[in-house]
Amino acid sequence: MLRSQQQFEVFRNGILSLTLLLLSTFLIAAQQRVNANAAIAAKFEHKIADYMKLRQKALAGLAVPKNTESPEKIADFQKQLAGKIRDLRPQAKQGDLFTPEVAGLFQRLVATAMRGKDGALIRTSFQRAEPIQGEHLDVNATYPDGLPLQSMPPSLLLNLPRLPKELEYRFVGRELILHDTQASLIVDVIPDLRMPQTK
Amino acid sequence: MTRRLLAIVAVVVIGCGVVSLRPPSQLVAIFAAPQGAPAPALDVKLPLEQKSVRFAVIGDNGTGDTPQYEVAAEMEAYRKVVGYDFVTMMGDNIYGSHKPKDIERKFEAPYKPLLDAGVKFYACLGNHDDSNETLYKPFNMNGQHYYSFKKGDVQFFALDSNYMDAKQLDWLNNQLSGSTAKWKIAYFHHPLYSDGRFHGPDLDLRKQLMPIFEKYGMNVVMSGHDHVYERFKPEDGIYFFLVGNSGELRYHNLRQGSNIMAAGFDTDRTFMLVEISGDKLYFQTVSRTGQTVDSGVLQRQPKPAAPVQALQEVH
């Protein structure tokens, strides 16, 4: 009797230890994932800050037409700002800001948002906002004049790293672009951001 | 919770009751207004009370095509009688190309009589607009994608529904929490409610905005995007309008048999006139050919009675 009770306690302690081991392994892995994501997001924010410094240089000497009645002045300002940014980053290429690991992070963030409770709302929001199809946009190119800008579902935006007000994320088909709004310039592109099916 | 429910019921009853005081023929005529019918003499339904706030509403207007010019001409005819001095724009202010000559053809030329008369336009951005429209003085956006302005007892909140990020939501919360205005009116491009079959409502945007609107007692919400005119039965105690056909039009695009629609018009372009005096908001929606397709008066809602925590449960 005593022996069988001892056996039971050994068995029970074994199960408890195993459960605790599995749980802590899972928690450590989850924490590592969170830390890894935070580290990638921090790198991305650093690159955004670098771009903003470069943009500030491009703005030097340019008169921002605040409250002008002249559409010509606005068009000239946009063209000049875009030109100066291009001059300051002539070698810019896809992946400079959206590095492979940042693109991977965005893929995960979008997937998380789409698979969450708001996934169906986000998908419907996309469908009802005149999605843009069949366009490919190059880094440093001007956003095509006359092409609508796909609105971004708020629940998705709230899941992505914040940007300064001069920059926006926009979807163009399956591409996610980083758009400099005043320069109307494509800063970077994630070429194939798959939108997972919702539940 | 019960007080809040009672408040909502009261608003629905008052809203529907007051509107239904209009002659039934006007409400029936909404879907039956024939195209190309001779324009009647100006039939102003607004009371034109002293010291009232009067404005016009247009949406999805910037096509540069003949119907936009015809709506603009009708707006000018009504301005001479109604005397409104500003216009709110629901977005898609400029369709297609945004070269300087397009701004001239799609905005400056059609609305020249209004601009010459000193009428101010307050734009918000639609999905066809360019961010740099914010720098264009005649749109009165002061370089901002979202902004607020006051006229008398009314505070307007022009939002950017293309990009409703955390910064904008924070700004809206701050603005509304500090607002002492008697009337609060929000407007933006994408509708929270719509019976338009082409687009329909933006449910994700609704999920983000409605708790804020309810919490701070938003009175009226106006949008565009679907190219029709629609007025809704009060939703959660808020009056909703959709004016998305001041240039573009989706003919016969309204879903029939909707249980949220109070009135709709989808066979021609329209603009809306609004007059706010004391606790009453008078509205009149006029078609390109000068016919009044909807009109009525709404009573200002009581302030929200429910505590903030209870409001969060709505969605």
B223-267: pLDDT as tens digits: 999 999 999 999 998 999 999 999 999 999 999 999 999 999 999
Q: Which residues is B220 bridged to in the sheet?
A: B185, B239
What are the percentages of helix, strand and coil residues in chain A, rounded to 5?
A: 55, 10, 35
pLDDT at A19: 83
pLDDT at B310: 34
Lowest-pLDDT range of A5-14, A96-105, A144-153, B138-147: A5-14
Residue A111 phi, psi dihedral angles, 5° rounding: -60, -40
What contacts 24+ positions apart, CB below 8 Å, involve B108-111? B108/B138, B109/B69, B110/B64, B110/B68, B110/B69, B110/B72, B111/B72, B111/B75, B111/B87
Element (H, E) at B24: helix B24-28
pLDDT at B68: 98
Q: How far is B141 from chain A (nearest CA, A)?
A: 8
- B175 with B148: CB under 8 angstroms? yes
Provide the whole-model pTM.
0.85
Q: CA-CA distance, A179 to A186, in Å (whole number)?
A: 5
* Cβ-Cβ contacts under 8 Å, B164 against chain A: 152, 154, 157
In the predicted structure, residue A173 carries a pLDDT above the cut 90: no
Q: What residue type is assigned to position A107 of the chain?
A: Q
Q: CA-CA distance, A37 to A39, in Å (whole number)?
A: 5
pLDDT at B198: 92
Q: Which residues is B86 bridged to in the sheet?
A: B55, B120
Nearest Cβ partner of A152 from B145, B163, B207? B163
In the three-class reduction of DSSP (H, G, I as helix; E, B as strand; rest coil), residue B150 is classed as: strand
pLDDT at B309: 41
Residue A195 phi, psi dihedral angles, 5° rounding: -95, 105
Q: CA-CA distance, B244 to B57, in Å (whole number)?
A: 10
* High-pLDDT (> 90) share of chain B, %: 81
In the predicted structure, residue B38 carries a pLDDT above the cut 80: no
**Each residue of B171-193: pLDDT tens digit?**
999 999 999 999 999 999 999 99
Could you tell me if A142 lies within 8 Å of chain B, comparing CB atoms? no
Could you tell me if A148 lies within 8 Å of chain B, comparing CB atoms? yes
CA separation (Å) from B96 to A5, A146, B134, B242? 82, 4, 17, 22
How many other CB atoms are there within 10 angstroms of residue B177's CB atom?
10
Q: What residue type is assigned to position B32 of the chain?
A: A
pLDDT at A21: 79
* Stretch B51-57: mean pLDDT: 98
* Stretch B87-110: mean pLDDT: 98
**Among residues B253, B251, B254, B193, which one has the least CA distance to residue B224?**
B193
pLDDT at B13: 45
Chains A–B, number of C-beta pairs less than 8 Å apart: 110
Residues of chain B whose beta carbon is less than 8 angstroms from a beta carbon of chain A are 96-100, 103-104, 127-132, 135-138, 142-143, 145, 161-167, 169, 189-190, 199-205, 207-208
In the predicted structure, residue B312 carries a pLDDT above the cut 50: no
**Each residue of B137-169: pLDDT tens digit?**
999 999 999 999 999 999 999 999 999 999 999
pLDDT at A66: 86
Could you tell me if A74 lies within 8 Å of chain B, comparing CB atoms? yes
pLDDT at A81: 98
Q: How far is B181 from chain A (nearest CA, A)?
A: 27
What 8-state DSSP symbol labels residue A87? H
Which CATH fold topology does B2-314 show? Purple Acid Phosphatase; chain A, domain 2 (3.60.21)
Q: What residue type is assigned to position A165 of the chain?
A: K
pLDDT at A125: 86
**Alpha-carbon Rg of chain A, whole angstroms?**
24
Crossing angle for the helix pair A100-115 and A119-127, nearest 10 degrees? 100
**Each residue of A18-50: pLDDT tens digit?**
888 787 777 766 666 668 899 999 999 999 999
**Each residue of A47-71: pLDDT tens digit?**
999 999 999 999 999 999 989 999 9
Nearest Cβ partner of A67 from B135, B164, B207? B135
Q: Which residues is B224 bridged to in the sheet?
A: none
* High-pLDDT (> 90) share of chain A, %: 63
pLDDT at A83: 98
Could you tell me if A128 lies within 8 Å of chain B, comparing CB atoms? yes
Q: CA-CA distance, B138 to B120, in Å (whole number)?
A: 7
Q: How far is B20 from chain A (nearest CA, A)?
A: 32
**Among residues B279, B281, B260, B157, which one has the least CA distance to residue B216?**
B157
B159: which 2 tokens?
């939002």
* Exposure string for B261-281, b = 16+ CB within 10 A, e = fewer: bbbbbbbbbbbbbbbbbeeeb
Nearest Cβ partner of A148 from B103, B128, B204? B128
pLDDT at A126: 83
The gap from C-alpha A178 to its chain's centroid, in whole angstroms, comes to 8
**Among residues B241, B129, B296, B273, which one has the least CA distance to residue A148?**
B129
Which of A62, A64, A66, A74 to mutate to probe the B interface, most B CBs <10 Å? A74
Q: Higher model confidence: residue B281 or residue B41?
A: B281
- Tell me if B208 and A149 make a contact (CB, 8 A cut-off): no
Nearest Cβ partner of A129 from B104, B127, B131? B127
pLDDT at B305: 52
How many other CB atoms are there within 10 angstroms of residue A57's CB atom?
13
Roughly how many angstroms between the first and final C-alpha of chain B, as a whole number? 14
Per the prediction, chain B carries an average pLDDT of: 88
Write the Ramachandran bin of B75: left for phi over 0, alpha for psi from -120 to 50, otherwise beta: alpha
